[in-house]
Every structure is written in C-alpha cells, then in structure tokens.
Chain A
Amino acid sequence: MSNSATLKAALGGWPPAVLDPAGPYAEPITRLAWALLLGGTAVLLIVLAALAVALWGKPALRKRLGGDRTIWIGGVVFPGVVLTALLVWGLWLTGSLQATAARAGEMRVRVTGEMWWWRVTYLGERGETVIRDANELHVPVGQPVLLELESADVLHSFWVPRLAGKMDMIPGRRNLLRIRAEQPGTYGGQCAEYCGGAHALMGFVVVAHTPESFARWRAERLAPPPPVSGRGPELFLASGCAGCHAIRGTPANGTAGPDLTHVGARRSLGAGILPNNRGTLAGWIADSQTIKPGNRMPNYKQFSPDDLNALAAYMESLK
C-alpha cells in the first residue's frame, strides 16, 4: 500500500469515521450516536405526522389534537421521559469514558499542539522524555494509551474520531485522553479547534501496531542513530535548518519545528497533508508556503536542483 493510499484511507471516506469505531473509547459513543440518530429521526417523523394531521386530518382527529393535552404530552411528558433516560445514559457514559490519571505501567504520550503541527513526546515511567516525534502517534493494539494534551501557543483540539472523542489543548493546562486501538492500522485525525491560519491543514495519523511490530518500532527509535555524512547533512547544517529542527546524532538540535530524526519513516508530510517521498520532501523544502500557506517554515528556494535533491534524499533516508 502506498503512503498516499494510507493517508486517504486514514483521513476520511466511507463509512463515516464517527460511526466506524476502532476501539473501546469510541465504540460506546457510536452506539449512542446510532440511538440518537435513529431516535431523532423517529421523533421528527412523529412531529411531521402530527403536523400533517393538524393540517389535513379528519375533523375528529384534529379536534383531539387541538388542545392543551397535546402540548402536555408532546412538549412535556414525552420529552421529559426520553430525555431523562438519555441523560442517565449520557452521564454514565461520560463517567466511564472520561480519562483519569495514568494507571501503573500504562503507556503515556504527550501530544502538544503547535501552529500547525503536533509535537509527540513518548514518556517514560517517571514522565521523562524517551522518544521525540511529530505528527504521528504509534501505539500497540489492545492496550490503552494515555495522552497528555498540551498546547504550545493557541487552542487546538486533538481528535481521532475512530478511536475517541476530541479533547482540547489549552495553554496552561494538561488534558488527558485515553485511546485504545483494537486492530492494526492507521487512523486519521485533524485539529478540531480553530487555531488560525492553516488550521485546515493540521492533520495527523495514529498508527496501531501488532505487539511485535510495536516492539520493533520502539527498538528502532531507541537505537543510536547511524553516523551520517555527505552533501545532504552538510547542507542541512549549513543552511540554518538546524535552527528549528533536531536530528539525533547530529549537531542539529533546534526545537521550534518538528524533530526530523525519523522524518523519512513518517506516513505523511506537512502534518498529514502530503504523501512522504523524495519528491514531496524536495517540494516542501523549496516551497512549503504554497503547499501550506502561513506555516512557520520559510521557503528555501536558494538550493540548486542537485542540492535540493541531496537534501531531500537525506531526509528520506532518516527512517
């Protein structure tokens, strides 16, 4: 499967993500959603039927409809009963889904919303930083993962509809959200709280691995990076890229932008908006402002085609 096909499947399409849950923190909401959609449609039909009777019904029927009793039944008793039942269901569900503090041994990931990308930090037992990444969240299937949601600038909202409801990222606060994917695969998400400029182009994916695959991924990330040399790394360090980006094992240690240590392994580029390959990497470096207007990375048009290619190849090699 090509990267771009993965992305499309992850970000949308049929069936609607909210109605196609992939884990226990989304599934009960889907059940509720179906009950609400079907129940709501039924109530609408009843009201339409009452309206039709009022307009065209037989005189006897209309007479029965035309009194205070209709108002009491339709406006007070019926909604009162239905809404009370719904409220109980809703409260119970809220209590059971709302994330609580981390349980012992639970995997914790801090996701920080930034204008307009996601900083992803895998935390250790004591909350220390273990792995740095961006715009992609790797989780093992069948295990709950606690997300600590923060913001570096303005409000954002973290939302992977197939795994859980959304939760806002607010400066000065740390919100918790628990997700758990039951099947391996990629699950798309997008920033849901308007955050200015490129809010529309702030996507990400959650990648759920089988336990073996996750262990492999984790080992790769923790392994010391291979030494690098050549035109690509030289250009990277000489052109100011390192001012914002870090690549572990090199002098590049900027923190303003996404960590690029494993940029070549990502499923997408530009926070979920482009497939990731040498061509798109080169295009992004030279002209990210056309691809994602307003993003914080300036265009780097000064590179010759060869240099650009070398730099893109270097990025692509960072698996």
Chain B
Amino acid sequence: MRSETGFDPDLYQRFPTQEERPAEEEEELRRIWCAPHGWEYLTVVNNNYVGIFYLGTAFLFFLLAGVLALLMRVQLAAPLMEVLPQATYNQVFTMHGTVMMFLFAVPMVEAAGVLLLPQMLAARDLPFPRLSAYAFWAYAVGGLAFFASLFVGLAPDGGWFMYPPYTSKAYSPGINADFWLLGIGFIEISAIAGAIEIIVGVLRTRAPGMSLDKMPIFAWAMLVFAVMIIIAFPSVILATLLLEIERAFNWPFFDAARGGDPVLWQHLFWFFGHPEVYIIFLPAAGMMSMIVPTVAKAELVGYRLIVLAMIATGFISFGVWAHHMFTVGLPPMTTGFFSAASMAVSLPAGIQVFSWIATLAIGRPRFNAPGLFVLGSIVIFVTGGLTGVMVALVPFDWQAHDTYFIVAHLHYVLIGGMVFPLFAAMYYWIPMVSSRAMSERLAKWVFGLMFTGMNVAFMPMHLAGLMGMPRRVYTYLPGSGWDMLNLISTVGAFLFAFGVLLFLIDLARNFRMAPGGGNAGNVYGAGSLEWLPTELYSTRSIPVVKSREPLWDDPKISDNVEQGRYFLPRSATGLRETIVTSPLLAEPQYVQIMPGPSVWPLVAAIFTAFFFLALTVQAYMFGLASGVITVMAMLRWLSETDRPIAQDEVDIGAGIMVPTYMTGPRSHGWWAMVILMIVMAMISAMAMFGLAFLWSNQPTFWTPPALLGEGAPIALGYGLVVAAAVSSRWLHRIGNNWAVAPVLLAGLAAPLLTWLDIRMWSAVLAPDASGQGAAVFAILSLQGTVAAIGILFAAYLGWRALRGLITPTRNSTLDLACLFIGYCGAQGLVGTIFTRAVGA
C-alpha cells in the first residue's frame, strides 16, 4: 500500500489496542467538551449544538414559506379572489421563493452537513467550529429580520430572481428591494463560510484510513456541494452588490438607456441560480444514497458511478444557466449549447436514480418511514426530471417558460429532489440526536398526505401552464378555463400541509435533544460511522476505517471505539482537538487544537446582521458602528487562536506521535484561506465579465479607456505587492528577523495603488454616467475593499509580531497575511490591465 505523506500504513495494524484505558480519560474528554450553561449556552460552538440550531432554524423557514404558499393557494383557489391584495400577493410570492431557496434549502443542507459530517468522518468537530457558529447566527438573525419585513409591508416584490429594471430605483423606489439585496447578499456570505468549513472538514478531518474511495457518499455530496457554492455564490454576491449600488448611487449597470443592460443581471443571477438547484439537490441525493442501502440492507450499487455522477453534475451545472433565458433572444448557437448541456445534466441524475433502484433490487427493502420517503422521492423526482428534459428543448420552452408548467416542474424537482429526501433524512437521523425515535405509525400518514397532496397540488399545474396560465399572477379572470385546476391545486396544497402538520406533532411528541449521549441509537441498522456510540466529544476514540460500511463489516468496532482502542482515546493536549489527516488517503498528519465556546462569533454575527439591516434602512451611522464592532469582535475571536501550547508532539494512540501544529500548505488554515481567495477571485472575475459583457452589448456607449501605458506604474506596483508577500514567506523560512516587514509594507501600499488608479479613471469616466463607468468603478471598488481588508491583516500581523507571537514554528498568521496580501496584489494587477484592455 502506497503512502501519501510518508505515514507507514502498517501502523494501522496496532489497532485496536489491547490494554485497558484509564477511566479518567473519558471523564477528562467530557469535561473538555462539555457545553456551557445558563446564558452562555448561546456561545456553544460544538457542531452537535450548532447543527441542531441550524437545522431547526432552516426548518422553521420551511414552515414559514410554506404558510406563504398556502396563502397564495387560497388567493388562487378561484378567479378574482380578494384574500391577498395585488401588492401583498406580489410580496408573498417573492418571499415564498426567496425564503425557500435562500433561507430554507441551502441552509438546511448546509446544516445537515454541520451536524452529520463530523460524526460520519469520526472527527470530533468541524475544523472551524467558531466559523460554523458565526455562519449560523448571522443567518438566523439576518434571516428572521428579513422575513419580518413582510409584516410591515416592506418585503421585496420583484420575484425571487429580482430582475431589473423592475427592481431598480425607478420602478421599485421603496426599500423593499434593498431588503432582498442586502438580506440575501449577506446570507450568501454565511453560506460561503459554511462551505469553506465543509470543504476543509471533508478533505482534512476524516478518520485515519478513510481514503476518498471509502468516504461516505454524503461526504462526497457535501464536498461537491461546497465547491459549487464557492464557484456559484460569488456571482450572485456580485449581482446583488451591483444592483444595490445602482439603487443607492445611481451607477447604471442594468440601465439600458445609459449603456447598462438588464440582461447582464440575468447572466450573473443564473450563473449562480441554476447551479443553486444542484447545490440543493446533491446533498439530498447524498442523503438518499446513505439511506437507500440501510433501507435495503445492501451495499450501495455503483458507488463509484454515483461519485462520478455527482462530480459531473457539478461540472455540467455551470453550463446550463442560460436555459432560463431561452426567451431573451439569444442566438440559436447559444441556446443550442445550453439546451444540450441541460439535457446532459439529466444523465448523472439518471445514474443516481437507477443505482438506488438497483440497490433496492439486491436488498430486502423495508417500508419504514425513511423507506417510504425515499420511494416517494424517486417517483416525484423522476417526474420532475422528465419535465425538465422537456423544457430543455428550446422550442418547447418558448411555450412553457414562465407559465405554471414551470411552476409544476420546479416543484416536482425540488420537492422530489430535496424535500422528500429531507423528510427521509429527518426520520433516519433523528434517532442519532434525539433520545426517542419518531413514530413509524404516524409516519405512514405523514407520507401518505404529503405524497398525495404534492401530486394533487402540482400535477394540474402542468395543464394550467399549457392552457396559457403565466406564473406570478395574483389572480385570473373567470372563464379562462383555469378555475377548476387551480381549485384542485389548492386542495392538494392543504393535504400536503396537513402531512407536515402531523410531522410537527410527532416531532413535538418524540424529539428530545440528546447531544451528550443517550440517543435512540441505530434503529435502522445502518453501517456508517455516525452510528458509533457518541457523546459531545463525538466518539471516545477515532477508529481506523477499512471499508465503506465499517459497522457492517466489523461488528466489534462500536465496542472497540467506546473502549478507547483506537486513535485519540484521550485528549492528548488537554484541549479540544481532532486529528487532521491527508486529503486523499486520510493519513494522520497532526493534531488540530480546536477552539471552544466563545461569545465573539455570536457578537460578530449579530452585528454583521445589524450592519446589513442598518444599510437597508439607511441608518448609516448605526451601520458604521455595527461594522466596526463586527470587525473588533472578529479580531478578538481570531486573537484567541494560533496560540503556542506546551507540547510540540503528542501520542495519538499506540505510540504514534504527530505534531500539534502545522504551518504552510499542509495546515487547515492555509486551505481555508486558499478557498476564500477563490471566492474573491470569482467575484472579481464576474465583475470583469460584466465589463466585457456591457462592452459587447452596448458598444455605442463606450469611451476609449484610460491608456494601458498610464496604468503601467500601478500594475508594476501591484506586482511588487505580490513579490513582497512572497519574499516575506521566504525570509521567514530562512530565519530572517525582519521577515514581517515586506508584507506589512505591501499591505499598506496596496490601498494607495487603488487610490491612484481611481484618480486616473476619474479623469476619463464617471461611475454614474455610463455602464462602462459603473463597471470599471465596480472593479476598482472591489479592489479597494480587498485592499482595506489587507490593511486589517497587516495591522493584525504587526500587532502579533510586536507581541512576539510570530515564532519560527508558529507563523500561521504570517502565512495567511502573505497569502491574502499577495492575492490582493494579483487581483489589482489583473484588474488594472483588464479595465484598460476592454474596448481599447
């Protein structure tokens, strides 16, 4: 067996160890991982708590958005009803879609990852527990405040994809649209924080021996999911930013009369928006692929094919966005490409469906609660997939687009592809976190009502669409022939809602949170690691993984894990810790010290939410204050990390010694920073795409850009920033005492370069005069923002250097500052040249 890191795989033979472990070890683990009490309970960061809070909040949004759906169904039950007035209806349908997509679906699957991944990978926690806590609180506070806008009639009404120009200041003068742009913009930031956590968690904190081909399929799904978020979300973050800037400062990105283009929004939005659908679907499919083998009592058929299918889905999904724009008037070459890609993406979906069917065929399927929802999901999802193929055909889409046919299609896909798997997952995993399982008897009713209701509600909508009923209509005329279909749909919606209500009753009766052990246990007889006996510290010891279903293949594993016969049977450093392993073969590399409960992520999250809300209601001073408090809280939270500890190396079991600290590309912090840089690079790239797009679509509005030659000194300056960051790392490695100096200087110099560039462009263009001006200054503003964060990095680094916290071995802060400031220079360099090249 080859090795990835030089670790000798023969060492795995030492496990399970034979000697008795002292009983105090377990007591110490309990003490180290115990959750704080009283009001400090809110400061927990452990994934067992944060995961449950996160899931609960996301499910609450599912219920809230569901109630909005019922309101709409009542309004549409008959023609010319007056239950919801026009303006209210338009807000309600916008909020229904927005809340379901942004506040329910993505957070729900992300939350499932936070809760389940550490258990499945047998890690003690995710690598950045405080980041999880921050992501959760920012989402919860911001999301609830956003939802509340509905109660004061200030909710957005532009539809969940917020197409300008309707959402621009001229046609939506109120702050409703700002609520959407700022509220959603910042919930996306929370999603990205979660994605970074998940990528690093999946790739670096797996149990030793769990090579990628033994990884639970859900972890694969979450990995692809998180990578897709990293690529897709920057696009919508940029889009929301641009539209908000257009609204606030009158920069005409989307105003055709001034050289902007409303179609630019559609590209930016759907470049995110369609991958978004797979972002929601893949984790749910991953759950299905975990549940189906348990339901069938058989190993998953086609594991490798499913992994390939998921990765393929991720790739292809970035080539389908324009299928939402077949009626925009794109050339046939373009629509043809997107049509082909949209059809191609159904292949990997088909692979997954047929592997579930094949798994059921070789096993002995049981019709328990998860089993029923799995079957329901397959039927509904396949139906939605088939209508998806239909609308992938451009001519058919010309008819079906923006009608109730699409409403039916997307609900079949999302309910079959996400909601039913989610209910299966809740029945399946609740015994892992609750002391009681859910009622199987009631589950049959829940399933029956939801499955029937779903089909009764949405099947007739296909027909309504073919009969000419457009989507997003608050009413319709009598005699249009749509009356009966709509009435049936309304009845179905209420059947579905009764099913959900029954589920809630069951939840109230049986759900008793048991994060510290004493859960209902492996009631369905699954084979993956999350069913090992756990307490707050997760498993007593971290097993060596030799197969995909360790619990099925090694009946003694649970006992051995609990007796501490594997890795880390105790806290080696006396602190919270987990083993960081290599990305491919999961060989132990070092012990990561994990942060414990802290109030600072909570404070930072609350004030981040306040910051965005303050911007929305134009309370700028309050917003500024909130922003400052947020940054202070984050620095405070950071300052508690990256601390020296006594032991350089520890025994992680059976005499295997690993370091307690790691710097450079092998450290988990480096990985997170690289991912963050990809996010920033994507935002920047999308902004440059915007500039090029406006140039090719609105060439008559183009001013010849500032000369490339004039920008050369600035470009050179940015190049020096990159060089300084690189040299700092090099100087540190050779032990030079002044290693910090170049990167500090570079961090301070970068904003000056941006300022010079802005001055140079101001002579040529005004940001509010043309689309070109707006786009160029948007790129400059992004650069300015990155440079400003660079100053913070430099200041933090300088402060730590002065306090002597940068030592030859403990230099993560220096590493990360070099990475960030180096990135800042690189982005500046590209931007300086690109802005001058487009239309030159």
Which residues on A are within 8 Å of B, measured CB to CB?
7-8, 11-14, 16-19, 26, 28-29, 32-33, 36-37, 40, 43-44, 47-48, 50-51, 53-55, 57, 62-63, 65-68, 70-71, 73-76, 79-80, 83, 86-87, 89-91, 93-95, 97-98, 115, 153-155, 157, 159, 161, 164-168, 170-173, 175-176, 188, 190-201, 203, 273, 293-294
Whether B390 and A36, one on each chain, are in contact in the complex, defined by CB atoms closer than 8 angstroms, is yes
Whether A76 and B347, one on each chain, are in contact in the complex, defined by CB atoms closer than 8 angstroms, is yes
Closest residue on chain B to residue A197 by CB atoms: B86
Question: Given the complex, which residues of A lie within 8 Å of B389, measured CB to CB?
Answer: 36, 40, 83, 86
Q: A29-B395, A167-B398, A192-B403 are in contact. Are A8 and B480 (CB under 8 A)?
A: yes
Q: Give 7 CB contacts A-B under 8 Å.
A: A11-B477, A18-B399, A74-B350, A90-B339, A90-B395, A166-B398, A197-B87
Q: Nearest-CB distance from B449 to chain A (Å)?
A: 21
Q: A40-B386, A157-B402 are in contact. Are A165 and B467 (CB under 8 A)?
A: no
Binds A, one of B45-53, B355-363, B652-660: B355-363
Binds A, one of B159-167, B490-498, B505-513: B159-167
- 5 A-B pairs besides A86-B393, A196-B172 with CB distance below 8 A are A63-B362, A93-B394, A97-B395, A97-B398, A164-B398
Q: A16-B467, A167-B329, A172-B698 are in contact. Are A199 and B472 (CB under 8 A)?
A: yes
Q: A29-B399, A168-B328, A173-B263 are in contact. Are A154 and B166 (CB under 8 A)?
A: yes
Whether A83 and B343, one on each chain, are in contact in the complex, defined by CB atoms closer than 8 angstroms, is yes
Whether B357 and A65, one on each chain, are in contact in the complex, defined by CB atoms closer than 8 angstroms, is yes
Whether B357 and A194, one on each chain, are in contact in the complex, defined by CB atoms closer than 8 angstroms, is no
Interface of A, secondary structure class, is: helix
Whether A173 and B395, one on each chain, are in contact in the complex, defined by CB atoms closer than 8 angstroms, is no
Q: Is B302 an interface residue (CB 8 A)?
A: yes
Q: Nearest-CB distance from A291 to chain B (Å)?
A: 10
Whether A13 and B347, one on each chain, are in contact in the complex, defined by CB atoms closer than 8 angstroms, is no
Query: Given the complex of chains A and B, what is the CA–CA distance between A246 and B257 in angstroms?
Result: 25
Whether A171 and B85, one on each chain, are in contact in the complex, defined by CB atoms closer than 8 angstroms, is no
Query: Given the complex of chains A and B, what is the CA–CA distance between A153 and B170 in angstroms?
Result: 9
Query: Given the complex of chains A and B, what is the CA–CA distance between A148 and B439 in angstroms?
Result: 61
Whether B466 and A17, one on each chain, are in contact in the complex, defined by CB atoms closer than 8 angstroms, is yes
Whether B393 and A47, one on each chain, are in contact in the complex, defined by CB atoms closer than 8 angstroms, is no
Q: Is B90 an interface residue (CB 8 A)?
A: yes
Whether B360 and A51, one on each chain, are in contact in the complex, defined by CB atoms closer than 8 angstroms, is yes
Best-buried of A7, A76, A165, A273 by chain B (most CB within 10 Å) = A165
Whether B354 and A74, one on each chain, are in contact in the complex, defined by CB atoms closer than 8 angstroms, is yes
- Pick from A76, A171, A188: contact of B165, CB under 8 Å: A171
Q: Nearest-CB distance from B155 to chain A (Å)?
A: 14
Question: Given the complex, which residues of A lie within 8 Å of B469, measured CB to CB?
Answer: 12
Whether B358 and A71, one on each chain, are in contact in the complex, defined by CB atoms closer than 8 angstroms, is yes
Whether B353 and A166, one on each chain, are in contact in the complex, defined by CB atoms closer than 8 angstroms, is no
Whether A200 and B383, one on each chain, are in contact in the complex, defined by CB atoms closer than 8 angstroms, is no
Q: Nearest-CB distance from A144 to chain B (Å)?
A: 17
Q: A190-B470, A195-B166 are in contact. Are A57 and B361 (CB under 8 A)?
A: yes
Q: Is B335 an interface residue (CB 8 A)?
A: yes
Question: Given the complex, which residues of B lie within 8 Å of A83, measured CB to CB?
Answer: 343-344, 346-347, 389
Whether A63 and B361, one on each chain, are in contact in the complex, defined by CB atoms closer than 8 angstroms, is yes
Whether B382 and A47, one on each chain, are in contact in the complex, defined by CB atoms closer than 8 angstroms, is yes
Closest residue on chain A to residue B354 by CB atoms: A74
Q: Is B471 an interface residue (CB 8 A)?
A: yes
Question: Given the complex, which residues of A lie within 8 Å of B397, measured CB to CB?
Answer: 165
- Pick from B87, B262, B353, B354: contact of A171, CB under 8 Å: B262
Question: Given the complex, which residues of B lie within 8 Å of A8, measured CB to CB?
Answer: 479-480
Which B329-374 residues have C-beta < 8 A from chain A?
Answer: 329, 332, 335-336, 339-340, 343-344, 346-348, 350-355, 357-363, 365
Whether B327 and A165, one on each chain, are in contact in the complex, defined by CB atoms closer than 8 angstroms, is yes
Whether B343 and A86, one on each chain, are in contact in the complex, defined by CB atoms closer than 8 angstroms, is yes
- Pick from B298, B351, B382: contact of A71, CB under 8 Å: B351
Query: Given the complex of chains A and B, what is the CA–CA distance between A47 and B399 in angstroms?
Result: 27
Which residues on B are within 8 Å of A, measured CB to CB?
85-87, 90, 157-159, 163, 165-166, 171-172, 256-257, 261-263, 298, 301-302, 305, 309, 327-329, 332, 335-336, 339-340, 343-344, 346-348, 350-355, 357-363, 365, 375, 378-379, 382-383, 386-387, 389-390, 392-403, 463, 465-477, 479-482, 698
Whether A71 and B354, one on each chain, are in contact in the complex, defined by CB atoms closer than 8 angstroms, is yes
Whether A90 and B262, one on each chain, are in contact in the complex, defined by CB atoms closer than 8 angstroms, is no
- Pick from B256, B301, B346: contact of A66, CB under 8 Å: B301
Whether A71 and B355, one on each chain, are in contact in the complex, defined by CB atoms closer than 8 angstroms, is yes
Q: Nearest-CB distance from B103 to chain A (Å)?
A: 21
Q: A47-B353, A166-B399 are in contact. Are A75 and B467 (CB under 8 A)?
A: no
- Pick from A67, A93, A168, A198: contact of B301, CB under 8 Å: A67
Closest residue on chain B to residue A203 by CB atoms: B477
Whether A75 and B466, one on each chain, are in contact in the complex, defined by CB atoms closer than 8 angstroms, is no
Give me the 4 closest cross-chain CB pairs, A-B, nearest first. A165-B398, A172-B256, A66-B362, A75-B351
- Pick from A48, A80, A115, A171: contact of B257, CB under 8 Å: A171
Whether B361 and A65, one on each chain, are in contact in the complex, defined by CB atoms closer than 8 angstroms, is yes
- Pick from B166, B171, B378, B482: contact of A51, CB under 8 Å: B378
Q: A47-B382, A155-B165, A166-B398 are in contact. Are A62 and B362 (CB under 8 A)?
A: yes
Query: Given the complex of chains A and B, what is the CA–CA distance between A172 and B473 in angstroms?
Result: 25
Interface of B, secondary structure class, is: helix
Whether B402 and A200, one on each chain, are in contact in the complex, defined by CB atoms closer than 8 angstroms, is no
Whether A153 and B171, one on each chain, are in contact in the complex, defined by CB atoms closer than 8 angstroms, is yes
Query: Given the complex of chains A and B, what is the CA–CA distance between A70 and B350 in angstroms?
Result: 11
Best-buried of B87, B165, B305, B358 by chain A (most CB within 10 Å) = B358
Query: Given the complex of chains A and B, what is the CA–CA distance between A271 and B469 in angstroms?
Result: 16
Question: Given the complex, which residues of B lie within 8 Å of A199, measured CB to CB?
Answer: 90, 470, 472-474
Closest residue on chain A to residue B375 by CB atoms: A51
Whether B395 and A94, one on each chain, are in contact in the complex, defined by CB atoms closer than 8 angstroms, is yes
Whether A197 and B90, one on each chain, are in contact in the complex, defined by CB atoms closer than 8 angstroms, is yes
Whether A14 and B90, one on each chain, are in contact in the complex, defined by CB atoms closer than 8 angstroms, is no
Question: Given the complex, which residues of A lie within 8 Å of B361, measured CB to CB?
Answer: 53-54, 57, 62-63, 65-66, 70
Query: Given the complex of chains A and B, what is the CA–CA distance between A14 and B481 in angstroms?
Result: 7
Q: Nearest-CB distance from A113 to chain B (Å)?
A: 12
- Pick from B172, B261, B346, B482: contact of A172, CB under 8 Å: B261
Query: Given the complex of chains A and B, what is the CA–CA distance between A188 and B479 in angstroms?
Result: 13
Whether B395 and A175, one on each chain, are in contact in the complex, defined by CB atoms closer than 8 angstroms, is no
Question: Given the complex, which residues of A lie within 8 Å of B396, measured CB to CB?
Answer: 29, 32-33, 36, 90
Closest residue on chain B to residue A28 by CB atoms: B395
Q: Nearest-CB distance from A238 to chain B (Å)?
A: 32
Whether B335 and A13, one on each chain, are in contact in the complex, defined by CB atoms closer than 8 angstroms, is no
Q: Nearest-CB distance from B1 to chain A (Å)?
A: 26
Best-buried of B309, B336, B360 by chain A (most CB within 10 Å) = B360
Query: Given the complex of chains A and B, what is the CA–CA distance between A7 and B395 in angstroms?
Result: 27
Q: Nearest-CB distance from A188 to chain B (Å)?
A: 7
Question: Given the complex, which residues of B lie within 8 Å of A159, measured CB to CB?
Answer: 402, 468, 470
Whether A196 and B358, one on each chain, are in contact in the complex, defined by CB atoms closer than 8 angstroms, is no
Question: Given the complex, which residues of A lie within 8 Å of B393, measured CB to CB?
Answer: 32, 36, 86-87, 89-90, 93
Question: Given the complex, which residues of B lie within 8 Å of A171, measured CB to CB?
Answer: 165, 256-257, 262
Q: Nearest-CB distance from B343 to chain A (Å)?
A: 4
Whether B358 and A12, one on each chain, are in contact in the complex, defined by CB atoms closer than 8 angstroms, is no
Whether A168 and B327, one on each chain, are in contact in the complex, defined by CB atoms closer than 8 angstroms, is yes
Whether A55 and B327, one on each chain, are in contact in the complex, defined by CB atoms closer than 8 angstroms, is no
Closest residue on chain B to residue A40 by CB atoms: B386
Q: A54-B361, A80-B347, A164-B398 are in contact. Are A13 and B472 (CB under 8 A)?
A: no
Query: Given the complex of chains A and B, what is the CA–CA distance between A195 and B403 in angstroms?
Result: 14
Whether A16 and B263, one on each chain, are in contact in the complex, defined by CB atoms closer than 8 angstroms, is no
Question: Given the complex, which residues of B lie within 8 Å of A37, measured CB to CB?
Answer: 390
Q: Nearest-CB distance from B647 to chain A (Å)?
A: 49
Closest residue on chain B to residue A274 by CB atoms: B477
Question: Given the complex, which residues of A lie within 8 Å of B350, measured CB to CB?
Answer: 74-76, 79
Closest residue on chain A to residue B171 by CB atoms: A154
Question: Given the complex, which residues of B lie within 8 Å of A176, measured CB to CB?
Answer: 329
- Pick from A40, A170, A201: contact of B328, CB under 8 Å: A170
Query: Given the complex of chains A and B, what is the CA–CA distance between A63 and B402 in angstroms?
Result: 44
Q: Nearest-CB distance from B310 to chain A (Å)?
A: 13
Whether A154 and B477, one on each chain, are in contact in the complex, defined by CB atoms closer than 8 angstroms, is no
Q: A12-B480, A13-B480, A68-B301 are in contact. Are A173 and B329 (CB under 8 A)?
A: yes
